[in-house]
Amino acid sequence: MKRSVWLLLILALVVIYPLVFTTPFLQRLGALVLLYAIAASAWNIVGGYAGQVSVGHVVFFGCGAYASMAFFTHFGWPPIAAVPVGMMASVGIAALIGVPTLRLSGHYFSMATIAVAELARLIVTNVEALGAAVGLSGPVIPRTVFDLSFTSALPYYYLFLAVLLGVLGLTYWMENSRIGFYLRAIKDNERAARSLGVQAGRYKLYAYMISAGLTSIAGTLYATMYGFVDPESGLGILTSVKILIMAALGGAGLLFGPLVGAAILVPLEEVSNNLLGGKGAGLTFVVYGAIIMIIARFYPSGLLKLLLDRLAAAKPAPSDKKVRDVA
Amino acid sequence: MLLEAIDVTKTFGALTVVNEVSVSIEKGDILGLIGPNGAGKSTFFNCLTGDLMPTSGRVILNGEDVSMMTPEQRAVRGLARSFQVPQTFETMSVLENVMIGAFLRTSDPAKARRRAYEVLDLVGLADVASAVAGSLGTPGRKRLEIARALATDPEILLLDEAMAGLTATEVRHAIELVRKIHQTGMTLVIVEHIMEVIISLAQQVIVFHQGHQIAHGTPQEVTRDPAVVTAYLGKRAAATAARGFAGDQS
């Protein structure tokens, strides 16, 4: 009961945020937080819940971004119409990477994901139809409202919020159904899970494919807002790392962890870019490196988990009798 | 015949760890596997559960050849196990651990939860249902593994040294638990170091030594078998024992 009140309050704050903070910078910042929260929440399904750390998630982000721009450029589709194309391509690529590598222990999977993402970047850089090194652009002047080309960030903000709620809703449903239990069991102890009849390989693959499809939506939304994609923005390894760090910083394997991480990191990056201008481009990497070390050393389960544990410690734990009566 | 092993052999390179072991278990029986350290009983056990595939020979479960099946395929067919070193899901609660087992027969979380509570009642862990599994001690974890396995509604339960590392009192409680489970009609295979446990529980025993099955029979028969005594205590003790038994008969 208490929890749902808190959630409604936070949701209300998120909904009115761009109406209170009306400067273009802050509205755009809010939209970006939500966009990265979508990508990081999608990553969370395979990286957080199933514990299979993908370091090449940008390849799915790129599928979504490139699908929308390519179908606009070649066939004149509204960019958003390419969402199913990007998702299908992502799920296909996830199956291709996942089938041979998910049966191996964690590190091989992570390495394979990096390799595939870099490979995709190099290939796209040399494919003329995908804009090669220059990239592809979206509609310069919106033809209809379906082109989703706005000067204000406000429409994007609410569009991203709706998609994020969808992704979180799906994650919540998963968390409380058999697949969610199975993924956590696989993450904790795969051998034990298999002895109880859990088809570990298959469930990891499901998680990876779902995660890939959702990440691709984030890519399409990104390209729709910026109206542009090139190999660096759509397939650069930095985006993979960003998605991963946001989820890990907030709390991997927690429903709202990636959102918390995005709400901290996106403003940090935007502000530091503004302060340092073009000179500070390399500094972002340094900051990410430092954050990785700090998370690994002090908060391996993320900030949100830390906060929740503090709150739980402050309250007396319910006895098992009570828990049981409720259940 | 519920479970049958026919000439099961397992080699690792040039090393033969299990050499043509055959055994069959009727429904409702308890089979004990004993032997000194390194005798091959755990390897044989893992061939039965699917964690290892036999190099040659066959494993038959309910009339079906499962020799090349994975652990999860065997679990679906009614085989459940515990581990020598407990492999609980450390970050999940005791209840959730058992629910993972129950999910094998239902996809409905409410049904899985109900089934998990039933099993927790049976094994005596209901009071700590919401505790994190990582907070339990060794006896609790071993009990939890048995609960988790039972929640899959198996036809046969294989326990790998379920009593190892327990104190004398805890062993007594564990034996009571195994009896209780057996009384529900469960078929059991137990690997055990402690002779007392095997003698008080098993109807038939296989003794392993250097990968070979050196004796097979009731607990009374195998403990008198000179080959078994030799394997455990050495030749001189065996000779003394043989004289002693001869003396009994005269």
pLDDT tens-digit series, residues B56-114? 999 999 999 999 999 999 999 999 999 999 999 999 999 999 999 999 999 999 999 99
Would you state the pLDDT for residue B241? Answer: 65
pLDDT at residue B157 tops 80:
yes
pLDDT at residue A324 tops 70:
no
pTM of the model: 0.89
Q: How far is CA B121 from CA A324, B126, B128, B144, in A?
A: 12, 5, 11, 11
Q: What is the average per-residue pLDDT within A237-250?
A: 91
| Å between A179 CA and nearest CA of chain B | 9
Q: Where are the domains of chain A?
A: 24-236
Binned at pLDDT 50, 70 and 90, residue B247 comes out as: very low
Strands (E), chain B: 3-12, 15-25, 30-34, 56-61, 64-65, 79-81, 156-160, 187-191, 204-209, 212-217
% of chain B surpassing 90 pLDDT: 65
Which of 3.40.50.300, 3.90.220.20, 1.20.1440.60, 1.20.1270.10 is the CATH number of B1-78+154-224? 3.40.50.300
Q: What is the average per-residue pLDDT within A81-109?
A: 90
Contact yes or no for A50/A107 (Cβ under 8 A): no
% of chain A surpassing 90 pLDDT: 62
SS3 A136: strand
**What does the alpha-carbon distance between residue B129 and residue A324 come to, in Å, rounded to a whole number?**
8
C-beta atoms of A192 and B96 within 8 A: no
| Chain A interface, best mutation among B130, B148, B153, B158, by max A CB count within 10 A | B130
| Å between A325 CA and nearest CA of chain B | 12
% of chain A surpassing 70 pLDDT: 94
Would you state the pLDDT for residue A3? Answer: 81
Residue of A nearest to B103 (CA): A178
Beta bridge partners of B60: B4, B65
Contact yes or no for B34/B23 (Cβ under 8 A): no
| Chain A interface, best mutation among B45, B69, B89, by max A CB count within 10 A | B89
Binned at pLDDT 50, 70 and 90, residue A306 comes out as: confident
Would you state the pLDDT for residue B147? Answer: 96
| Å between B222 CA and nearest CA of chain A | 31
pLDDT at residue A326 tops 60:
no
pLDDT tens, residue by residue, B202-230: 999 999 888 888 889 998 888 888 888 88
